[in-house]
Amino acid sequence: MTARTGRQIVVTGVSARDPNRNRDIDLAGATFFADPVKLAASENIDLFVELIGGSEGPARASVETALAHGKSVVTANKALLAAHGLHLAALAEEKHAALAFEASVAGGIPIVKTLREGLAGNSIERVYGILNGTCNYILSRMEREQLSFEECLSEAQKLGYAEADPTFDIGGFDTAHKLAILTSLAFGTRVDAQAIDIEGIERVTLADIAAADELGFRIKLLGVAQRTPDGIEQRVHPTMVSKNSSIAQVMGVLNAVTIDADAVHELTLVGPGAGGNATASAVVADIADIAKGVRSAPFGLPLAQLTELKRTAMRRHEGGYYIRMSVRDVAGAFARIASRMAERKISLESIMQRGQRGQPGDCVDVILITHATSEHLVREALDLIFEDGTIVSRAQVIRIERE
């Protein structure tokens, strides 16, 4: 590290819940602080590294303290940045300190530096990707081993890929926090995780996985931010992607981010999205930059130049939609469905019935594939179909991304 940075980096202070835990590193020369805020304010440090996690509590207090004292900060905390990134960036600007967070998005993939510095000469139209390894692991195993969502989630928890309460991951909120950071870097907007439409993977079933496979797709949880005439559209949801696409090849706990820009066109980065080694790689890279004197604006532009981000309605989707519904097997059911779709000017590409018909009045799975249409029209039509009593539960809706 000294050879790369031109200066020696010394760990002078440490704060942790357990001071006696074996960390396979000699910390005999470092002072232990029971309170991370006191470490952040210490006169003996130039740089504070926050790996506590969470948007409030000691993580927020210690980072704010370090920046207020003019000390640079490296963090892997996407929740903190999504909630308070603008405030922290303002502190960093005021005190001429660095705020670096490569490890906060996509683990070991250097996506922050790519957007902030590597593509500074590009106008970016869209950034999207697989930003949560837990969800990608679950969807990959469902496809490969024909295991249910519940079985794959349980296995992910046993392996440490998912928390005891997995809501933050499988509900899409972790992806949304990361997308909020990427959106700011890509489009020069103020971080706003509340402006994102979010849907998780909890309702994805083996029937959806099988249908996607039959149609030539895989299901991935994507975070998408794209420029539109009305502003920046941000969304997190399960998506059917072509098996031939590069992002469809990303399986297991890996992450991938694709950038569509005017000069480089399409650029995809793939790598480990979580884990100790991936996080450490990104954290050390940030430390090395700061040691070399690199002081980039945290979100690519000075805070005053970042534009406000308004929530933008999801636009007409050119790839169409996959819709799975449990339909009462009664005379005229299909006709009523087609009629409700036509009322909303939704053109159907195909209608497929899955499984064998039983007794009259039983339910059968029906899959609709639509042509290009708007999400609100699909939702309106499905609400009417449900109110008609034609289907017995809310329909599953998944966007289709075509090449």
Dump pLDDT digits (tens) for 155-197. Answer: 989 888 888 889 999 999 999 999 999 999 999 999 999 999 9
**Which pair of tokens denotes residue 274?**
């979580």
Position 19 confidence tier, pLDDT thresholds 50, 70, 90: confident
Distance CA 257, CA 246 (A): 10
Question: How far, in Å, CA of 214 to CA of 208, rounded?
Answer: 10
Whether the Cβ atoms of residue 131 and residue 270 lie closer than 8 Å to each other? no
Tracing tokens 């469902």 back to the chain, one arrives at 142
Strand partners, 189: 307
3-state secondary structure of 127: strand
Nearest to 309 by CA among 20, 139, 82: 82
Residues 6+ apart with CB under 8 A from 217: 240, 241, 242, 243, 248, 400
The pLDDT score that the predictor gives to residue 355 is 63
Is residue 313 predicted with pLDDT exceeding 80? no
pLDDT digits (tens, 9 = 90+) for 221-270: 999 999 988 889 999 999 999 999 999 999 999 999 999 999 999 999 99
Active site (catalytic) residues: 178
State the CB neighbour count (10 A cutoff) for residue 239. Answer: 25
pLDDT at 360: 56
The yes-or-no verdict on residue 392 having pLDDT over 90 is: no
Q: Is residue 220 over pLDDT 90?
A: yes
What are the CB-based long-range contacts (under 8 Å, 24+) for 341-344?
Answer: 341/368, 341/370, 341/381, 343/381, 343/384, 344/373, 344/377, 344/378, 344/380, 344/381
Asked if residue 316 has pLDDT above 80, the reply is no
User: Binning pLDDT at 50, 70 and 90, where does residue 274 land?
Assistant: confident
Q: What is the mean pLDDT of residues 141-153?
A: 95
Instruction: Encode pLDDT of 198-216 as tens digits.
Output: 999 999 999 999 999 999 9
Burial 177-192 (b: 16+ CB within 10 A, else e): bbbbbbbbbbbbbbbb
Q: What is the pTM (predicted TM-score) of this model?
A: 0.91
Q: What is the mean pLDDT of the chain?
A: 91
Instruction: State both tokens at 21.
Output: 């835990």
Where is average pLDDT lowest: 74-83, 163-172, 323-332? Answer: 323-332
Confidence of residue 319 (pLDDT cuts 50, 70, 90): confident
Domains along the sequence of the chain with CATH: 116-273 (3.30.360.10), 321-401 (3.30.70.260)
pLDDT at 295 over 60: yes
Q: How many residues does this entry show for the chain?
A: 403
Pick the residue with more confidence: 321 or 23? 321
Query: 10 Å Cβ neighbour count for 10?
Result: 10
Is the pLDDT score of 358 beyond 70?
no
Mean pLDDT over 37-56 rounds to: 95
- For 120-138, the pLDDT digits (tens) are 899 999 999 999 999 999 9
**Given the DSSP bridges, would you call strands 254-261 and 124-130 parallel, antiparallel or unpaired?**
antiparallel
